[in-house]
A and B are shown apart, each in its own frame.
Chain A
Amino acid sequence: MREAALVDVRAEAKAHKDGDPLWAFRKALICEYVQGAKEELTELDWNTAEQFLEFVRMAALNERPANGISPLVPVFDHLDDDEPASLEPVDLNNPGYCETLSTSDLALSQQRGGLVEALGFPGSLQRAPDWYAQVQVTYHRWAREDLEGHQFQEDDSRFGGIPFHCTRFHNALEGSKEFAVKDNLIFLLPELDDPNRAGRLEVRDANGNVVVLDKVLAAAQLNADGTEGERVDFFAEDLAASASLASAVDRTNNLPLPKVFTLLFDYNTREAPLEEDQLKALRAELSTRNPEEPLRIAMTGHADCVGPRWYNTIISEDRVKNVFETVIKPTLLQKGFTEDTLSDDKRFKLAGLGESVPASNRDKGQSCEASDPDRRVVVVVQ
């Protein structure tokens, strides 16, 4: 009967193993958690030992925690309701943070981002399964000690308290870095108006070498010493698998982008901008904004160089006020913005610059002529 049961268990283990590219990682994870449970038992910490054995079972059966953050990475329960009050950064390159309770607590929170990133990146767990299993379990053990919070006294050092597990984690993380996709990764996103086009980025490394990136998702890696790392092919799948990278892309894609509108004026006029299309576009943009967002608008009025300077300053100020009062204010009031908000000069900045910043490229000393593009109000909506 026992043999029959074992056959079932082995068959199940084999089924989970076959075709699972993370099997080596799972196996290493089992070893690390079993070792952890053994050590906790010698400390008579039954609860933690039981928890670690539960993770052994999950690793064996390839169960993923419902709210786990990467395959087989457990929930880090110590931080669920207890983030450190401060966000003061810690020097994460210096394991000295393990030596005091306060810096250990901050480092525990701040190392998590890098840890999740390392464990979640495609290929990492296959390249160095043993290192990453050690990274996960040492972090987990450090976190447990932090949660229990009572093993920092010198006389408790025989039980392997926070400094011990924190230092083990630090060493494991440092060791794993050799196999990781580099921490310093840069890649290009497509331009907003064309998904097939990207800008251009020059990466200058510590040796002065220049890597040019000019295609969508073109990527570069840099080593810890600032030198260029190995060339990497970066794919959309990699981007999707990395929570923080995907989140950064989502944020930038969903951000209401600043827009610039240029309204042109007739010679010596303060009213009715000439350019109807720009006016319509400005109104359309304002009508997409809502009072809850911290909208900021900066407006500058300009004049051409014909006439006295003092007069040009006045007319440029009048043009700005006119656009604000007749176009911007009514549209935003209709959207629910209040008079108080609209009179906040930190958020709505109006300035008349006279003839001092011409739009046309007039050479120094060139005689002054009435110039259409100079007579304008520039509205920046942020």
Chain B
Amino acid sequence: MTPWMKTALTAAAGMAAVVATTPVQAAATDETALSLCKVKISADEVAKPSRRPTTVGFIKRVDGQVAILRPTRDGVDELKDEVGMDLYAFDAVVTGSNGGFDAIFTDNSTVSGVADTCLEISKYVYKPAEKKVEFRMRLGRGVVSVAAGSVAKIPGDSMSVKVRNDTNLAVTGTRIVIRAK
């Protein structure tokens, strides 16, 4: 049995095509679950569908095979990634062996991913007027380069990338490259 159901949906104008839907999966144990990139994390950190999806950034460039995994009430949609597409909090961007993407976020942070990469947006809040800013990512595998935007310039631990459940990279106004498996 295949682990996901293929659904042949035709994209309406301006809409992204859903190429596959993965049904909701049970948590691995009581304490842990698998994230969209299949990294083991605590169950309460698992990606949840947004009630009111808010755009947190968009795809600036795409090369080769790239998809966005988006949690929905019924499971996870796999969307064919296209230039200009919106990104929502809790999305994951995944690339194939010839894939690559560049994304720009609302706070002007940029994230570029290369082939065989899976990156999740765990949390994104950007309300500078209310001094509420937070950008958390989780790198499941592959390589990304991150150029921190306004989020990282607010004092405090506001921007981080997790490469393992217990490892945080606190980014402050800098450009970095991260590789993870």
Contacts and interface: CB of A to CB of B under 8 A. Distances in A.
Interface stretch (A25-33, A52-60, A149-157, A198-206): A198-206
B179 A191 contact: no
A89 B94 contact: yes
Contacts of B4: 86, 88
Interface residues of B, number: 73
Contacts of A112: 97, 116
Given A252-B145, A255-B102, A188 B175 contact: yes
Given A247-B100, A248-B177, A206 B166 contact: yes
Nearest to B142: A113
B115 A92 contact: no
Interface in B139-181: 140-145, 147-149, 163-181
B141 to A, nearest CB: 7
B95 to A, nearest CB: 7
Interface residues of A, number: 64
A289 to B, nearest CB: 12
Contacts of A92: 38, 141, 181
A251 B22 contact: no
A222 B174 contact: no
A217 to B, nearest CB: 10
A203 B179 contact: no
B146 to A, nearest CB: 8
A162 B125 CA distance: 45
Contact of B114 (A188, A247, A356, A382): A247
Given A87-B65, A255-B61, A186 B178 contact: yes
B96 interface: yes
A311 to B, nearest CB: 20
A251 B37 contact: no
B118 interface: yes
Contacts of B98: 83
Given A199-B175, A204-B168, A294-B59, A257 B110 contact: yes
A257 B167 CA distance: 28
A204 B164 CA distance: 11
Q: State the 6 A-B residue pairs at the shortest beta-carbon distance, nearest first.
A: A199-B174, A113-B116, A294-B84, A183-B181, A206-B166, A251-B112
Interface of A: 79, 83, 85-93, 102-103, 109-110, 112-114, 117, 183-192, 198-206, 222, 224-226, 244-245, 247-249, 251-252, 255-258, 260, 293-294, 296, 298, 346-347, 356-357, 380, 382
